[in-house]
Amino acid sequence: MSDLAWQQQLHNPNSPPLLMGILNVTPDSFSDGGRHFTPASALAQAQLMVEQGASILDVGGESTRPGALPVNDPEQLRRVLPVLLALRAKLPAAIALSIDTRSAIVARAALDAGAQIINDVSGGRDHGLLELAAAKQACVVLMHMQGEPATMQLAPRYEDVVGEVLAFLLSAAAAAEQCGVPRERILIDPGIGFGKTREHNLRLLAALPQFANAGYALMLGTSRKRFMGAICRETAFTALVGATCATTALGVAAGVRVFRVHDVQANRQALEVAWAIGQSHA
């Protein structure tokens, strides 16, 4: 697979969706904080996820879990740059690297270190980040989040969660295009768990086909999210692999093109079976 093959697969409806492995190099992420905090442990986890089927690795140096406080640019850079450089040196060129950040400064350094995707949970609120993506010919993921991580789960409210989230994402994507990012390099993400109640999350998941048909590649991130634990009566995040796989299978049928997950192997199985079922009557 060439370094552009994942982009071609992203937009090919006859190709299965892609898996993005989550690689948090933070001490406080909600389910894996501190586990991959050194370049060596991060590289080992990255190699495992690639072996299990990840086409993209998403490296983040700032936790955006509910209640998390911002991490300044120098500290994010200290965390992510050694990891990105090690990944780019050791992994095949076919594996895409993504930087999970809201900072244009961090994103620029990450792109210079070999990343090709900016995963922006703020949905392009900083147009400097969109202009950077255009200048560097990078892909950008635009996610919906109500409020900020520190406060987003304090009684989030919507009149029409599906309509409001979709309208935000379409506006953000249009802004990215106006900044010079081509449509084929833009992904949208409804932001499951980011300023949403359990009912909001369920409504968004039920409406995934609307997002998939909005004209942009759709990414979904439900991995180990707390709202599923409440449904399944599980308190441990690591016990939610099966719950995550259920949303992956649903997402494949709905037209999601990228799944951002912690547990690559299990979700690859869910993806491949759901894809095969869909293809059997295509």
For residue 21, give Cα distances in angstroms to 47, 63, 163.
10, 16, 29
Q: Please report, in angstroms and rounded to a whole number, the separation of the first and last CA atoms in the chain.
A: 25
Query: What is the distance, to the nearest Å, from the Cα of residue 102 to the centroid of all Cα atoms in its chain?
Result: 13
Task: Assess contact for 25 and 59: CB atoms under 8 A.
Answer: yes
pLDDT in tens, the chain (282 residues): 345 688 889 999 999 999 999 999 987 544 444 455 688 889 999 999 999 999 999 999 998 777 778 899 999 999 999 999 999 999 999 999 999 999 999 999 999 999 999 999 999 999 999 999 999 999 999 999 987 777 768 888 999 999 999 999 999 999 999 999 999 999 999 999 999 999 999 999 999 999 999 999 999 999 999 999 999 999 898 999 999 999 999 999 999 999 999 999 999 999 999 999 999 975
Active site residue 260: yes
| pLDDT number for residue 282 | 57
Q: Among 79, 185, 224, 225, which one carries the catalytic annotation? A: 225
Residue 30's identity, in one-letter code, is F
Q: Among 65, 226, 260, 268, which one carries the catalytic annotation? A: 260
Active site residue 136: no
Per-position DSSP letters for 97-114, written without gaps between them: EEEE-S-HHHHHHHHHTT
| pLDDT number for residue 65 | 79
CATH fold, domain 5-280, is TIM Barrel (3.20.20)
Q: Residue 106: CB partners within 8 Å, gap ≥ 6?
A: 61, 73, 76, 77, 80, 99
